[in-house]
Amino acid sequence: MDGGPIQDYLLNIIKIIISIVLMSIQEDIENTLEVLNRLKDEEGIILVEGQNDIESLINLGINARIIAVSQYNIFDVIESISEKEVIVLTDFDKKGTLLFKRYVKELQSSGKKVIVIYYRELKKYLKKYITGIEQIYPFLEKRDVLDDNEDLIW
């Protein structure tokens, strides 16, 4: 049974909206994979909030030294870092953002070079889908865009 021109028009609008949303998700995933591939080449230490964040990054093929900071005093963590470059990857929620700002400030005060581009880019591409670093691997795995932890592909 034909619903008429109005129904056809509405169905076409719905198809266009779905197409736009899917293209946006695809673009965000492609950008995320590009960021993660660059992160794989970094040699600095990576600070994350918890152990699950470490496991997610390892599953994504990140081989840098990674420290979970949530159980430690900020100054003890900073004092234990011998590397000159530090990448801060806290969660994208309010608590993680505040922790990110605090670590960046204190690390810079201690003379460390803080690399913030990875956090900013991952947050930009992923915040509308997930809130934490530990969720990156499951998010990408669910979309079947990972290739056996070797290279991230689309």
- Number of domains observed in the structure of the chain: 1
The per-residue pLDDT for range 115-146, each reduced to its tens digit, is 999 999 999 999 999 999 999 999 999 888 76
CA distance 70 to 49: 5
Residue 152 lies in a domain: no
Residue 44 lies in a domain: yes
User: Please, which residues bridge with residue 77 across strands?
Assistant: none
Residue 79 lies in a domain: yes
The per-residue pLDDT for range 4-41, each reduced to its tens digit, is 888 877 777 887 777 666 667 889 999 999 999 999 99
Residue 150 lies in a domain: no
Residue 24 lies in a domain: yes
CATH of the domain at 97: 3.40.1360.10
Triad 140, 145, 150: Cα angle to 5°: 100
Residue 92 lies in a domain: yes
Q: Domain range spanning residue 38? A: 4-141
The per-residue pLDDT for range 73-116, each reduced to its tens digit, is 999 999 999 988 999 999 999 999 999 999 999 999 999 999 99
Residue 149 lies in a domain: no
Residue 22 lies in a domain: yes
CA distance 89 to 47: 6
pTM summary value: 0.80
Per-residue model confidence (pLDDT) at position 147: 62
- Cβ contact 53:133 at 8 Å: yes
